[in-house]
Amino acid sequence: MEQPIALITGATAGIGLETARLLAQHNYALILTGRRMDRLETLKDELEQNGAKIYLLNFDIRSKQEVDQALASLPEEWKAVDVLLNNAGLAAGLDTVSHADVDDWETMIDTNVKGLLYITQTVSNWMIERQRGHIISISSIAGKEAYPMGSVYCGTKHAVNAISKAMRIELAPHNIKVSTISPGAVETEFSLVRFHGDQEKADKVYEGFTPLCAKDIAETIYFVLSRPAHVNIDDILIMPTAQASARDIFKKK
C-alpha cells in the first residue's frame, strides 16, 4: 500500500475515535479495532465517505486467542503496519485496595497490560521484519503518580510506562520508535466506564473545571507521529490547565 498504515486499538469511542478521524485526514490507511462492531461500521462509513481506506477488526483485547486470530486474518498488504496506537484501556471502579472489586482489577490488568502486550508482540514482529515503525501507547498521569482508590489503574499505567521504556531500548536497533502519551483528565466515556454506567458519578468528575477533550490528545498523537525520522518523542505529559495533579480531580469527590 502506498499510504502509511496505522492500527488503532479502541477506536469506538473517545481518544481512539478522534485519532482515527485526524489520521484519516492526514492520509493514513487505518485498521480500527474494538468490541462494539456497530460503532466501528459507523466510523468506517464516515471515514470512507471522505476517501479513507479502512479495515475493521472486531475483538476483545483481553483474549489472546481473539487478538491472534484477528491479526492473522488481516490481508498481507494490511500487515505492513507503520503505526501501532495502543489506546484501548479503561479504569474500572474507584475504591481502596481493602474494598475494591477483584473483577475490576482483573479487567484493568487484562485490558491495559496483557491486552496491550498481546497485540504489541505480533505487530512489533511485523515492524522488525520491515525495520521500521512507531508504537505509541496511551499511558496517563496515573502512570506517573498514584492516587488513593486508583491503585490498580495507576499500577497498570506504571506498567505501560515500564514496558514502553524497555521496548524503546529493544526496538531502537530496528529503527522502531516507541512513545508514550500521558494525559490527565480527558472527557470521554472513560468515567462512565469507570463508574459502571453511572452517568451522574461520571459527570461529577468533570464538574468545576475544563478537562481535556479527545481531540487534544489526537492532535498530540499526530504531533508525535509527524516528527522527522531522526526524532523520537519518548513521552508527553499533557494536563488540563486546571489540573495540577492526578489527585486534584478526586479530592472533592
Active site residues: 153
Cβ-based neighbour number of residue 23 at 10 Å: 23
How far apart (Å, rounded) are the C-alpha atoms in residues 194 and 242? 22
The contact set with ligand NDP (CB under 6 A) reads: 10-16, 34-36, 60-62, 87-90, 111, 138, 140, 183, 185-186, 188-190, 193
Binds ligand 8X3 (CB under 6 A): choice among 108, 142, 212, 214: 142
Quote the crossing angle between the two packed helices 64-72 and 116-130, to the nearest 10°: 30
Partner in contact with 189, chosen from ligand 8X3, ligand NDP, none, beta carbon below 5 to 8 Å by kind: ligand NDP
Count of residues binding ligand 8X3 (CB under 6 A)? Answer: 9
Q: Which three cell numbers stand for residue 94?
A: 474507584
Using CB under 6 A as the binding rule, whether residue 150 contacts ligand 8X3 is answered as yes
Which of positions 156-215 make contact with ligand 8X3 (CB under 6 A)?
184-185
For the chain, how far is it from start to end, CA to CA, in angstroms? 50
Which is closer to ligand NDP, CB of 128 or CB of 167?
Answer: 167
With residue 40 as reference, give the H or E element that holds it: helix 37-49
Contact segment (CB under 6 A) with ligand 8X3 among 20-28, 54-62, 135-143, 171-179 equals 135-143
How far apart (Å, rounded) are the C-alpha atoms in residues 196 and 229? 42
- Whether residue 176 contacts residue 125, with contact meaning beta carbons closer than 8 Å, is answered with no
How far apart (Å, rounded) are the C-alpha atoms in residues 153 and 151? 6
Partner in contact with 4, chosen from ligand 8X3, ligand NDP, none, beta carbon below 5 to 8 Å by kind: none
Residue ranges binding ligand 8X3 (CB under 6 A): 140-142, 150, 153, 184-185, 246, 249
